[in-house]
Structures are given as C-alpha cells and as structure tokens.
Chain A
C-alpha cells in the first residue's frame, strides 16, 4: 500500500518535495506484534491486544488531540488528523489497522521507579514483515526506561518492520526511550512515535538508525505541561543507496517547557536523506525554550541531503533556535588529524564513529550498546 507520511506542519514549495513523503509498503503477510517474550518488572502492567475502540477511548480520556487545533499561517493546518499525534501521521495508523496489528498497552504505576530497562529485542528473520503498536501510560511520578532493538541477518531479504509507540507522561513522570535499528540494506524500517508530556515530565528519546535501506522516522511530542522537558538525540548512517526520511515535531503548549533536539548523521555515496524538524510554540507557552540542531557530514559525489528546520511562533515570550551545519569535515580538522599521521579516510571514519558513539553511550543495556557499536564499525568500514 502507498502511505503518505511525515507531513510538514506548514506547506512550502511543492517542487522541493518536502511537504511529505510517499512510501510503498508491502503489507502482504505482515504479522502484528512487536512483543518478544518480555518479562515485565514490578511496577509495570500490560494489556495485550487492545481493540481499536479501546485505544480510541484511551485517547479521548487523555484528551490528546490538541495538535490539530494549531493555528497555522499557511493555507492548511497540516498536522494530520490523529487523536494522539505521531510524527508520521494518520497513514501509519492506517497501515497498522490494515494489517490488523493489535495495540499493547503498558502502564507504569504511579510513583514506581523502575530501574531495570524494559527491553524489546527483536530479531527479524529473512523477508519477515512485522508491525506493532504500543501505548505506554506513565503514571504520576513514575520513572522507566524502554529499549527497542531491531536486528536481523537479513541482507537481501527485504524485511519490513513498522513500529508505532505512544507515550503519555503524567505529572513528574520521567521516561527514557532508546530505539536502535540494526537492519539490512534491503530492509524497510518505519518508526513512529508520539508523546504527550504533562507538568514537570521528562522525556528523553535516543534513536540510532544503523543499516536499513529505507527508513521512515517520525516523532511528535506535545509538551502541554508546565515545565515539561524533552531531549532527543538522533544518529543515523545513510549508507550507499539508502533513503532516510525524518520528521520531528516538538509542540510547546506548557509554560516554561523546554525541548532540545539534536540530529547527527553521515551520508555516503548516493545516500539520500530528508530531515524535517519543527519547533512549534503555541499561544500562552510563555517562557518556553526550544532548540534544534542538525549536523550532517557528507561523503560522496551523489549524496542528496534535504533539510527543513521550522520554527513556528504563536507566542512572543519564548526562545527558539535552530541551526544546521551540512558539508564535509573542515579543512582545519582534517589538517590537524593528518599532522598526527592519520590519512583522510581514517580521519573521516573516526569522526563519524565518534559522533555516533557519543549517542550509543545513551543505550542503557550493555549488550545492545556493544552490538550497536560493532554495527557502527561494520557499517563505516563498508561505506
């Protein structure tokens, strides 16, 4: 089926092909679970396989539909209509619904501090097609860490993985989410994320994209609570022939809310990447602070890098910033490294490895971190 994903919240010139992306996803034979025999620690309960109606009722109860009320200066409000917004938009929900993917609902009990990460370590087999959705309700004052790893010996097999995660953070909830993708060059990875943060909540999302040939990566976070905090660290390697499409929206509604998004990546040969990043200040989000930065290193005559970082401002008393640096390593840096007897290729590999290893340090499960670091090494060598 064809999906229209990663909508830019405000449309711009159509010839740039940035307003959204069309993705062809082969859904035939797609199975519908991302669970992998996870044992849940104390403080976390689960309800597996919730129906669409149950999910809809949860959204109504949580009143998560604020994003659609955006007042956009352009002609159309482009946040795709969803009761609980995600970065990819409504078509991702449609895909899950089409393949009959069940939604698993997790709840972290109020006040419980779950120290041990909840790990979903998914091994993808050759040609497998897998899709699943989770809603995680993080009750007041709870703390939890969620790690999702996707790997498989699937070179040439054409596997597809679709993952939809939604986190609702009540007051004072603290959540870390780590997503590590280590799939093959012929695989497609759709990773969708939505979050709503209440007062004093803290959400940290770390994402590493290491290998899949086609990556669609979306995230939307509605920071509707006073003093809510959000940190994103996203690293990717765009290997030869790959396509990576990213869309992150940080929506500020709560006063004094703070969001920081950092994206680091490298593109090789004819890799193509689109990055959309939006810092969206809604009315009355006084004292909010949004900061977004993208750094991309390019290695290849035929790379295509598209970047569109938006700041939308409906409130005067905010501070917003976005910055991007796109290009090759600086001559000064290369000279410095060469004076230490290191050749240019090795220097470039070192810099990319350093940038991504800085992100992999966030992986709280040692075994997954080790695999990610190995994967980074392997891919850089291959590139």
Chain B
C-alpha cells in the first residue's frame, strides 16, 4: 500500500521513457525575481499558534479575527488530510512560510510599486491589461496586495473594490464580519481551516443594487517567494439586480521545493444579480493548489464560473454553487490541462435547494506527457428543489498512453420533481481529424494543437478576448513544447 501512495504523477513520468513532446516552455510565468532579505518580511516556516498570532498582529486584525484564526488553527489540527484525491505527501507545512510580504505598503499607482515587483507584473502584462480592458485591478505579491486601483467612474457608481485588510479594519468591517468564511466555514475541510488560520491578502468587492459593471475587475496573484504559501481571501457581494464580471489570474515561478496555495473565494449573489467569475490558473509546477471557491445565489441570481486550470503540481479545485433562491441558476465551464508531473483534480459542485433552480456543467480535461487529470463533481438536488433541472457534460481527451484521465461525477436526488442528465466521454484525437488537417498543409504538431484548442473552445469562447488568447497560448505551449 505504501508504494501505491507514491505520487502517481511523478511515478508515471519516471516509469516511462516514452516522452513524446518536450517539456513546456513556461518562461513567461516561471521567471524568478530574487527577493532581497532587506525588502521582504518573511515569517518563519511551520504552523504554530505563535505564528498565527504573529500574522494577526502584523495585519492589525480586530480581536474577533484573531479568535477566528485561533479557532481555525484548532480545527486544522483536528482535521485529517483527505483520504480521497491526489496524494499530498510532498506537502510539509513545517517547510512552508505562511506569510511573506514586501516591506513597502500597498499603493494606488504602478509608479509607486517597488521596481522589482512592478517588473514582475509588467512581464505578466497586468498594467497593460488594466489600461486596456479592466475597470479595476488588484495585484497581490506573496501574502499582501501591492497595488489596488479602481476606475473613477466605477467607484463613483458606488462599487467598492479594495483589499481585504482595508475592508476588515475600515468602514466595511461589519459587512466582512457578517460574510467572512460563513459560506466556506473552517470546518469544511482541512485546508479551509488552514486558510482561516493564516489567510492574508485578497480582495473585497461590493456592487450596490442595480449597478451593472460593464467591464471586468481583475485580481492577479503572484507567489514569488520560495517555499511559501499564499492564502488570499476573495469576498464578493453582488447586490440585488447588479452585474459583475470578476477575473482572477495566478502564477508563480518554479522552485524545486513545494509551494502552497490555499485561497478561499466566497461569492454572494443577491436577488436577480449576476456574477461571472473567471479564472486562468497557471501556478508553477511545484505548487500544491488546494483552493476553495463557493457561491450562493438568492432568488433569480446567476453565477457563472469560467475556469482554466493549467498550472500546479497538484490541484484540488471544485467551485461550488449553492442555489438557495428559487429560480437561481449556475453554470460552470472549465478546462483542465495536465502535463508532465501534474495531478490535477478539478470539477464543480452544484447544490440545488430552491425551486426551479437550474445548473449546467460543461468541462473538458486534457492530459499529456504523464499528466493525470481527474474530473470530480457532485450535483445534489434537495427535496425542496422541485422543478430543478441539472445537466452535466464532461469530456476527456488523452494525448498519449502514459497519461491518465479519470471521471468521478456524483449525482444525488431527493425529489422526483426534478430532472438530471449526465454524459461523459473519454477518447483520443482521431487519426482522421489529424490526417484531414495535415492534408491541408498543417504540420502534425500544429494539427493536434488546433484540435485540442477546438476541444477547449467552449471555455475560451466564454473568456474576454485577451484572456482567451492567453488560454490558447497556454494550450499551444503545452502542446508544442519549448
């Protein structure tokens, strides 16, 4: 049994010498900016009550937050590691620093961001994206936000987009207190408890009643420090009849020791409001991405998740939608690409409680070069959810025989007045399709990349143009190698 618990992603890569394509060129994301000791504050490695108290002090938490952190730590220590999903034996909390921050303060102008950090975000194209297509940007470097800005006209409409710390210690404290980790309580699972104990950074968004934010807000998370964890908390409240598109991006340089990301996203979608939450996740391949995302929709509310998972060594990621209000609706559109050394366990959860609620899951998994992708989901229809309809579609594409693709979808129904449909398919790129494209003059690698891009099209077409282009580039990188 102990042999079987070895990291399967590594195991596959090691036991096969049949590597078809080169490893991926990830220079765009994997660049390393050495952090100078004098510029950064770094908490010692490990997880103790003392460390949690220090983080709380660093962040000037109100008293209730310190209590919350300590309770969460207790829950973390009492909660076992999940017995399902990819093995996380390689993650040693004694070697993870849970808090690293630049000694400079968060600013509202890129010119004031320290040069080395600004360079990192420049390389990732964040300031450019802000100028061209965003209503507001938050940029987090390691544990804290270094930049936060929102367009004047958006702010004037009453939209609040700020960092969590400002929200927690300022005029929105009560609103934060009312919602913080109520949707994802620390008792949810071990890494939710960890998040509750050491969370830091992240964004707070409030969109007032009836306000429709026409262009997206974006938060970008960069974890640059070696052997560190990032535990940002994103709390979004979209009030009645309001509309928001929020984009989240993440990346990190690759180190030869484990990094950890255990963020938490809580989304409150009020009556007849709509929220689209898009993520392009491109963590480096030494990252354990144990992230929790959950939305709750009131009557007529709509949550749309668009998710691209490309990075990480191992991922546990299942955005959940609680359809509490009658007539609320959730959609999850996702693509996961698992390459060499990656074990990505992704999917979605839908919980129907209100009457006439509807949900739709459409996912695509691709694996290559010994990568493991697992699609995991649950659709639960409660007894109260009369008239609910749910549909699940998942497709898996395997690009070679040293990879692995599993589909683990669960459905639970507790009423006869609802309908659930489910379909899943697994297969390979058809030789006929490759032959057809090659007969039109495309080289084989390009033909295969084009087919994979087409397979992932349901996701990319849901993203704003520039993010769709980024996703297609990532697919191309993964397919063609460096």
Contact = CB atoms under 8 A, between A and B. Distances in A.
A129 B416 CA distance: 35
B413 interface: yes
A306 B412 contact: yes
A262 to B, nearest CB: 15
Interface in A44-76: 71-76
Interface stretch (B176-184, B203-211, B417-425): B417-425
A11 B316 CA distance: 14
Given A14-B83, A300-B416, A319 B378 contact: no
Given A300-B416, A323-B422, A12 B410 contact: yes
Interface of A: 10-14, 16, 18-19, 71-77, 267, 281, 283-284, 298-328
B293 to A, nearest CB: 15
14 contacts: A11-B83, A12-B378, A14-B84, A73-B343, A73-B345, A299-B416, A300-B416, A301-B415, A302-B414, A304-B413, A307-B410, A320-B424, A321-B423, A328-B417
Contact of A323 (B372, B399, B423): B423
Contact of A316 (B87, B345, B399, B422): B399
Contacts of A76: 1, 4-5, 83
B276 to A, nearest CB: 26
B112 to A, nearest CB: 45
Contacts of B408: 10, 12, 308, 310
A73 B373 CA distance: 8
B406 A10 contact: yes
B46 interface: no
Contacts of B363: none
Interface in B1-46: 1, 4-5, 8, 11-12
B398 A316 contact: yes
Nearest to B85: A74
A76 B2 CA distance: 9
Given A71-B8, A328-B417, A320 B426 contact: yes
Contact of A305 (B343, B413, B425): B413
B190 to A, nearest CB: 12
Interface of B is mostly: strand
Given A10-B408, A309-B422, A327-B419, A317 B413 contact: no
Contacts of B374: 10, 73-74
Contacts of B170: none
A13 B84 contact: yes
B453 to A, nearest CB: 18
Nearest to B425: A321
Nearest to A313: B405
A311 B419 contact: no
A324 B416 contact: no
Given A73-B343, A313-B426, A326 B401 contact: no
Nearest to B427: A319
A316 B428 contact: yes
Contacts of B84: 10-14, 19, 74-75
A73 B1 CA distance: 14
Given A11-B84, A13-B378, A305 B412 contact: yes
Contacts of B418: 327
Contacts of B480: none
B450 interface: no
A298 B411 CA distance: 14
B407 interface: yes
B86 interface: yes
A320 B83 CA distance: 27
Contacts of B420: 324-327
Contacts of A72: 4, 8
A324 B415 contact: no
The 10 closest A-B pairs by CB, nearest first: A327-B419, A298-B416, A11-B84, A316-B398, A320-B426, A324-B422, A313-B405, A311-B407, A308-B410, A307-B411
A12 B376 contact: yes
A267 B12 CA distance: 43
B383 interface: yes
A75 B426 contact: no
